[in-house]
Structure 1
C-alpha cells in the first residue's frame, strides 16, 4: 500500500454557472483528523456537484498498485470517486466509481477495474493518473463526507 498525503482543494459547479454551495475543512471527525467536504448540491442552473480533489503527488506510483483505498466517514449518502489522467483533455472527462459513506469510519477499496470511463474512449492508464476527486454529484443532496486516509492498494 502507498499512502498519500494530499493537498485537498474545494471545487463546485459554480465554475460552470451552477449554484451548489459547500466548503472543505480540515478537522477532527469522530476521533480522527480528516479532510471534510460539506455542502448542498443543487441541480439548478445546470449544476450538480461539490468536490474535494487533489493532484497526485510526484513520486507516487499508482501503476504499481491495483486501486485506490480511502477511509471515510459520511452521512450514508453515495459519493463518486473520480480519477483524471493526462490522457483526458476536457474537464468533463473522467473515470468514475461510486461508494457509500456510512456514519462510521469505513475503509473503501476500489480497484482500478471498477472505474468507468465517462465521456472518453481513452482506456484507463494508472501510470498517467494525475488527479483524484471525491464528489457529491448528480442529485439534490446534503454532502457530508470526511476522508482520514487515501492511497493506493495492492
Structure 2
C-alpha cells in the first residue's frame, strides 16, 4: 500500500465525516492538486461540535500492510494536531485505531508510526480492552482534527506508505 496523489481519481475516493452528524458546524474536504492531498476546512465549536474528518477505503492496501511494521506518513502541517485513523473489523463501527501527530509547518516530513503506537478509541475515549491492531483487518484509513480549537486548518499529505 503506497498511497500517493498522482492518480486522477484519488480525490473522489475520500469523503468527509464531520461533527454535523451530531449537530456541529465544522466542515472539511479532501482535495488533490500538484500531486499533494489536502485535508482542509474549518473547525467550529458551536452546537457541541469540534471535529472534522476524511476517510477512504484502503482498496487492496491490506496485503502489503500485513507485512509492514507500521505506516510512514509524509505530511506538512499548520501548527495543529491531527490524527491518522484506521478503521478495522476488530472494533465496532464508532471506533478506530489512532495516532496523534503535529507535523512541521515549514516543510514536508516523514513520520513513522509502528503498529504499537496506535491506540483504540471510541468517540475520543481510549479503549483499554481493545484487541491489538491487525493490519489485515483494516477497512478504512483517514485523518481527523479534534484539537478543541476553532478555525481553519490544512494538512498536506504527500504519501502514506508501509513502514518496513
Question: What band does the TM-score fall into relative to the shorter chain?
Answer: 0.7 to 0.9
TM-score where L is the length of structure 1: 0.85
1:85 counterpart residue number = 88
Counterparts of 1:54-65 in structure 2 under 5 Å?
54-58=56-60, 60-61=62-63, 62-65=65-68
Counterparts of 1:1-154 in structure 2 under 5 Å?
2-5=1-4, 7-28=13-34, 33-58=35-60, 60-61=62-63, 62-91=65-94, 93-103=95-105, 104-119=107-122, 120=127, 121-123=129-131, 124-141=133-150, 142-154=152-164
Instruction: Give the paired residue count.
Output: 148
Normalized per residue, the structure richer in strand is 1
Shift of 1:150: 0.9
Shift of 1:136: 1.1
For residues 94-134 of structure 1, the C-alpha deviation after alignment (integer angstroms, 9 at most, x for no partner) is 11111112121111111110011113433122210111111
**CA RMSD in angstroms, aligned pairs only:** 1.8
Show structure 2 runs of 5+ residues with no match: 5-9
Secondary structure in 1 aligned to 2:60?
Answer: coil
- Aligned equivalents of 1:146, 1:52: Cα separation in 2: 13
- Aligned equivalents of 1:153, 1:143: Cα separation in 2: 27
Show structure 1 runs of 5+ residues with no match: none
Secondary structure in 2 aligned to 1:122?
Answer: coil
For residues 42-73 of structure 1, the C-alpha deviation after alignment (integer angstroms, 9 at most, x for no partner) is 22222221112111122532221111111111
59 and 138 in structure 1: CA distance in 2 versus 1, 3 angstrom threshold: closer
Secondary structure in 2 aligned to 1:57?
Answer: coil
TM-score where L is the length of structure 2: 0.81
* 10-19 or 126-135, which deviates more: 10-19
Do 1:12 and 1:49's aligned partners in 2 also have CA atoms closer than 8 Å?
Answer: yes
